[in-house]
Amino acid sequence: MVCNSGTSLVPTIDGTLHHFDNVGLYDALFVMQDKESSTLWNHITGEAQYGPLVGRTLGPVGNLLQMNVELALELDPDIPVAISSRRYFAGGRAFGEGPVPTGPGRGDGPAAGEGRGAGPGRARGPGGAAGPDGRGELAPMFVTTLGTEDTRLPRMGMGLGVLTPTTVRFYPMDRIRERGEALIDDIDGRRVLVYVDPDTNTPAAIFVDASAATLEGKEVRLDSGGVVRSGLVYDAAGQRLDAERPQQLFSRWYGFALTFPGPQIFGQ
Amino acid sequence: MAARGRGRIRRIVGLPLAMVMSAACYPATAAAQPESRPVDLPDGPARPGFDINRFSNAGNGWFETFYVEKTESLSAVLEDQRVADDTRVLVLETATGKLALLTDQMAYHHIAQGRAGDKDWMATF
């Protein structure tokens, strides 16, 4: 979960902008601190953890969706991008300054051995090398910050966490793959498609009007006649639909379960 | 942990470089990394269930929040070949619509903050 899942938050408290830094670890996840009050904050839930602003939340929490440039432009051809001076790689070339980046998409990403290609899911885990099961291990500097873990799944197992106002459910990657990398589930009385995006090899969830889904090439075909392609939903007539996405996090089990204790596990 | 100023200072002395080096998502060039800086902590309170004794300052000072001051058209940046079709991005909603950040860069920054449509936004990764 360290560095491989994220959210969008609102950094304004009582109308005042606060400025945040990454200052350490807790539950093996990075912790934010705002300069204005020195309060420590959970970077996933936006909740104040320690300090004078305990009780406050940097909400509403929104999705930070993982995709590639092609999909982002499909989603919105006019989408802007913010690029810092930091080094990054694109098209086999290096841009920017600083050391070679690590982390998701760079070959040292957190999801050890669970992805394919160059996506999140290669090589190393957060603070540790890949273990024999390909899931990686946490280094001691992370382990010492862990609370009591939920042992129903392997600590480093990757999956998609989906959150609604009444449901918190984790979809392990291997369970999604067992079901052909696309499945329809029911959350709060609504049908949700959970699938592994064929372009980015990352899991995603979208509310759909269908009861079965099949991954065929780069498309997810719905039994309603609809299709999900490049993260977009089309009806049987080929009309693009405004698809709603539940709050979701591509994360490791330990981080998700420590952040949202006692989540439901799909298929269990 | 020692008292200083209005709060407490948490420091891990002599954080072994081997640990630093093994931290994925933390810069790979461990030799160039400074020691984790102490964190000036307030005197609480703690949210119920939060144990301040498990907080570690590991990595404090290694990363810089990305304060976004300008954006560009992603399609134009693609045309300029400063990104490729398969370059990984993170997409969030701001008050003026969607915004993309480069995953490579966010794996370093961890936090990005900016303003759009008179509303402040923040992404954490």
The predicted-structure confidence for A85-105, as pLDDT tens digits, reads as follows 999 999 999 999 887 665 443
| Percent of the residues in chain A that have a pLDDT greater than 90, as a whole number | 78
* Arithmetic mean of pLDDT, A2-22: 89
Span A33-52, pLDDT tens digits = 999 999 999 999 999 999 99
Sorting pLDDT into bands at 50, 70 and 90, what band is A115?
very low
- Sort out which chain B residues have CB atoms less than 8 A from A25's CB and list them: 55-56, 58-59
Domain count across chain A = 1
Report which DSSP code applies to B39: E
A169 to chain B, closest Cα gap in Å: 20
pLDDT of residue A175: 97
Percent of chain B whose pLDDT exceeds 70: 74
Q: Answer yes or no: is the ipTM higher than 0.95.
A: no
> In this structure, what token pair is assigned to residue B48?
């119920």
Which residue did the predictor score with more confidence, B6 or A20? A20
Predicted TM-score of the model (pTM): 0.85
Across residues B56-76, what is the average pLDDT?
97
pLDDT of residue A238: 95
A117-137 per-position pLDDT tens digit:
323 333 333 454 444 344 578
Interface of A with B in 135-164 (CB under 8 A): 136, 139-142, 144-147
Tokens found for residue A136: 């990686």
Summary mean pLDDT of chain A:
87
User: In this structure, what DSSP letter does residue B66 have?
Assistant: E
Inter-chain residue contact A141 with B44, CB threshold 8 Å: no
Q: Does A131 touch chain B (CB under 8 A)?
A: no
d(CA A85, CA A213): 42
pLDDT at residue A1 in the model:
42
- CA-nearest of A148, A150, A228 to A183 is A228
CB contact under 8 A, B107 and A83: no
A132 within some domain: no
Which of A192-206, A242-256, B17-31, B51-65 is the least confident region?
A: B17-31
In A, residues 203-242, which contact B (CB 8 Å cutoff)? Answer: none
Residue A199 falls within a domain, yes or no? yes
**Residue A124, pLDDT score:** 36
Which residues have a Cβ under 8 Å from the Cβ of A42 and sit 6 or more positions away? A26, A29, A31, A32, A49, A259
For the segment A175-196, the average pLDDT, to the nearest whole number, is 97
Q: Which run of H or of E encompasses B4?
A: strand B2-4
Average of pLDDT values for A14-23?
97
| Nearest Cα to Cα of residue A30 among B24, B101, B98 | B24
- The answer as to whether A176 is a domain residue is yes
Residues of chain B in contact with residue A83, where contact means CB-CB under 8 angstroms, are 72, 77, 82, 102, 105
pLDDT in tens, A220-246: 999 999 999 999 999 999 999 999 999
Interface test mutation site (partner A, options B35, B39, B78, B86, max chain A beta carbons within 10 A): B86
B38 lies within 8 A of chain A by CB:
no
Residue A42: what pLDDT?
97
**Residue in the structure block whose two tokens are 């498990």:** B54
For residue A188, give its domain range: 158-265
Is A141 within 8 Å of B21 (Cβ atoms)?
no
Task: Tell me the mean pLDDT in the region A39-67.
Answer: 97
DSSP conformation class of B125: -
**With helix as H, strand as E and coil as C, how does chain A read?**
CCCCCCEEECCEECCEECCEEEEEEECCEEEEEECCCCCEEECCCCEEEECCCCCCECCCCEECEEEEHHHHHHHCCCCEEECCCECEEECCEEECECCCCCCCCCCCCCCCCCCCCCCCCCCCECCECCCCCCCCCCCHHHHCCCCCCCCCCCCCCEEEEEECCCCEEEEEHHHHHHCCCEEEEEECCEEEEEEECCCCCCEEEEECCCCCEEEECCEEEECCCCEEECCEEECCCCCEECCCCCEEEEEEHHHHHHHCCCCEECCC
pLDDT, position A68: 95
A38/B27 CB distance under 8 A: no
Looking at the complex, does the CB of residue B108 fall below 8 Å from at least one CB of chain A?
yes
What's the mean pLDDT when you consider all of chain B?
A: 81
Per-residue confidence (pLDDT) for residue B32, from 0 to 100: 56
In a domain, A116, yes or no: no
In a domain, A162, yes or no: yes
pLDDT of residue A123: 30
Average pLDDT value for residue range A147-158:
96
Res B120: pLDDT: 98
Cβ-Cβ pairs closer than 8 A, A with B, add up to 324
- Quickly state the pLDDT bin for A111 (edges 50, 70, 90): very low
